[in-house]
Amino acid sequence: MNFSTPSFPTNPTPPTTAFSAPAILSGSGLVKTYGSSTALAGVDIAVRAGESVAIMGASGSGKTTLLHTLAGITSPDSGRVEFQSAAGAVDVTAMNERDRSRLRREAFGFVFQQGLLIPELTAIENTALPLMLAGYPRREAEGRAQHWLAALGLAGMEARRIGELSGGQAQRVAIARAQVTGATVVFADEPTGALDSATSDDVMSALLGSTVGQGHALIVVTHDETVAARCSRIIRLRDGRTDATAGVAAGSTGTGVSA
């Protein structure tokens, strides 16, 4: 795991090299059906280190199914998901559930609309939990968690329980938890859906800064055009198929390209 001290801009400009870099995560020919309904109908997607990708579409278009399939939570009926790990290319779809769980725990991070934090635990305990589940001593795990919380503007709030934090602060805890293990790909499913516009903007700044700003990849499912516009690229799903369009992150002078 990469345990370098987090330091990142709050409104990063995606490096132009990201758009020519090899894919860190890719899906090819992804098909997923639920009974007579087709969620994914042969989706191809490539995500590079240092870029952020927004996935948009109407309800039922397959957005969350695509995110879950790329993350190894859901197995496609056909197609392949490949992740470029430090040790080389990994066929995620060929892994057994135990290995996929380990991959999600160590290489991927997740941020959800409601955070899915444990209310009985403090901010630092929630953030340190993935490290402790991986076998790290509590003191070491909480030290790393404290660095991440401070980097995300939550210094002094480590001992607060989730109910004692604002919605935006709680989402920052979720962001810290998603990346405390050194995740190189972060998946965010409607991370600002329950927030007001000002708080949403702050949370997206923190999310982009701590992922793209670190040279990592961010994949966001959102209904919010404002959120999507801050990402490097937008991929729109319709009836399980993609329509990729270029986007430019806020404040960026770089240009996105479709996969």
pLDDT in tens, 139-158: 999 999 999 999 999 999 99
- Give the pLDDT mean for 64-89: 94
Query: Could you tell me the two tokens for 157?
Result: 């709030």
Q: What is the pLDDT of residue 250?
A: 41
Contact 203, 176 (CB under 8 A): no
Has residue 227 got a pLDDT over 70? yes
Measured between alpha carbons, how far is 193 from 142 in angstroms, rounded to an integer?
A: 29
Task: List phi, psi (to 5°) of 239.
Answer: 55, 40
Write the pLDDT tens digit of every residue in 28-65: 999 999 999 999 999 999 999 999 999 999 888 899 99
Query: Could you tell me the two tokens for 229?
Result: 């516009």
Give the pLDDT band of residue 92 (cuts 50, 70, 90). very high
Contact 110, 187 (CB under 8 A): yes
Helices (H), the chain: 63-70, 97-106, 123-133, 138-151, 167-179, 197-211, 225-229
- Give the pLDDT mean for 186-198: 90
Contact 145, 124 (CB under 8 A): yes
Calculate ∠ Cα 87-93-96, nearest 5°: 85
Q: What is the pLDDT of residue 194?
A: 81
Which 8-state DSSP code applies to residue 212?
A: G
Contact 158, 150 (CB under 8 A): no
Which 8-state DSSP code applies to residue 161?
A: B
Q: What is the pLDDT of residue 259?
A: 29
- Rounded to two decimals, what is the model's pTM? 0.84
Percent of the chain whose predicted confidence (pLDDT) is above 70: 85
- Give the pLDDT mean for 200-208: 91
- Give the pLDDT mean for 63-83: 96
Instruction: Please report, for residues 7, 43, 48, 156, 248, the alpha-carbon distance to residue 16 in angstroms, rounded to integers and kept in the order given.
Output: 20, 25, 11, 36, 11
